[in-house]
Amino acid sequence: MSSLKPKPVPERTPVGGADEHVFVERARRGDLAAFEELVNRYERKIFRLALNITGNREDAEEVLQEAFLKAYTNLDRFQGDSRFYTWLVRIAVNEGLMKLRRRRPNVVSLDQELEAEDDLLPRQVEDWGPNPEQRFAQIELQRILDEAIAGLEPDYRVVFVLRDIEQLSSEETAQALDISVPAVKSRLLRARLKLRERLNPYFRPGESPLPARPER
Amino acid sequence: MDCRAVIRELSEYLDGELDRTLFEEVERHLAHCQDCRLVVNTTKKTIEFYCNSAPLPLPEDVRNRLHAALATRLKRPSP
């Protein structure tokens, strides 16, 4: 199948920059301006991450603030063996998951083995056509994507967000979540398949472009 | 390689992380299995949707409150 070349998707874009460690070092010595530079670099990404994890703007804002405050006060513990950004993501993920646990204590269980039982084979197999997104206005498409991802179990959602939206590597994602690389890969596969199934009703041919909103 | 095995390798196939032997096995299966081809293509599209969705701008008020909180709470304690 020439149309199915193993071209990596998505393309990973680097974050940070060669000078990141300089700012980290200065911030570690108490230079608030250097820390502000790091905040400026990552505030958008951390807010988006927090929003994707918590699904709630108020919680996301609190996570954003707490993540940067904790990062600054714990800079001494940053070993420098990973990127500062990965370390910051780990703090933000922990804050976000804590918020979710407080809200829905029985749903969030990243340390639990999830993968063993369910059958991976997709239930719905239909083509979407070449440009399914063109059936929706941009804002409507974004709503569909947001609702689909919000409906994933947090354990899958977090892995998908880190790998496919924040574009961390499997190793960085494993580090950020304190789980193994095989667990990351397994959850990513399931997250991708579940999202595909959730989007399927919107994009399969012959459907009304605006199906009823799924129950939330 | 059957459909189940292909789906198990789907993520790494899409990420270009399969070794050559496995990759060729997946390709051989996809060449004759339309269902798996559709799953591969629509999963790829799913990832692209999220990957390409416009990054959220950080709302100005959220940003202002963040920087105000940092300025207030990270000030060195007075001796």
pLDDT of B63: 95
Give yes or no for B58 touching A (CB within 8 A).
Answer: yes
Is the complex ipTM more than 0.90? no
How many domains does the structure of chain B reveal? 1
Please give the C-alpha separations between residue A18 and each of A12, A15, A24, A38, A171, in angstroms, as whole numbers: 17, 10, 11, 13, 20
Spatial separation of the C-alpha atoms in residues A157 and A151, rounded to whole Å: 9
| Residue B76 confidence (pLDDT) above 60 | no
Residue B61 lies in a domain: yes
> Among residues B70, B17, B27, which one has the least CA distance to residue A189?
B17
Contacting residues of B for A8, CB less than 8 Å apart: 14-17
Spatial separation of the C-alpha atoms in residues A203 and A128, rounded to whole Å: 5
Residue B67 lies in a domain: yes
Q: What residue numbers bound the domain in which B30 lies?
A: 3-74
Contacting residues of B for A195, CB less than 8 Å apart: 46, 50
Min Cα distance B68 → chain A (Å) is: 10
**Domains of chain A, CATH where assigned:** 20-103 (1.10.1740.10), 118-202 (1.10.10.10)
- Asked if A202 and A211 touch (Cβ cutoff 8 Å), the reply is yes
| Residue A107 confidence (pLDDT) above 90 | no
Higher pLDDT, A121 or A208: A121
* Least confident piece of the model among A6-20, A41-55, A87-101: A6-20
| Residue A113 confidence (pLDDT) above 90 | no
| Residue B13 confidence (pLDDT) above 90 | yes
- Asked if A176 and A92 touch (Cβ cutoff 8 Å), the reply is no
- Which residue of B8, B15, B44, B74 to mutate against A (max A Cβ within 10 Å)? B15
Cβ contact (<8 Å) for A6 and B48?
Answer: no
Contacting residues of A for B47, CB less than 8 Å apart: 9-10, 164, 192
pLDDT band at A194 (very low <50, low <70, confident <90, very high): very high
Residue B79 lies in a domain: no
Q: What is the mean pLDDT of chain A?
A: 82
Contacting residues of B for A69, CB less than 8 Å apart: 69-70, 73-74
Min Cα distance B57 → chain A (Å) is: 7
Rounded mean pLDDT, B22-35? 95
- The secondary element (H helix, E strand) that includes residue B31 is helix B20-32
Rounded mean pLDDT, B60-67? 95
- Asked if A84 and A78 touch (Cβ cutoff 8 Å), the reply is yes
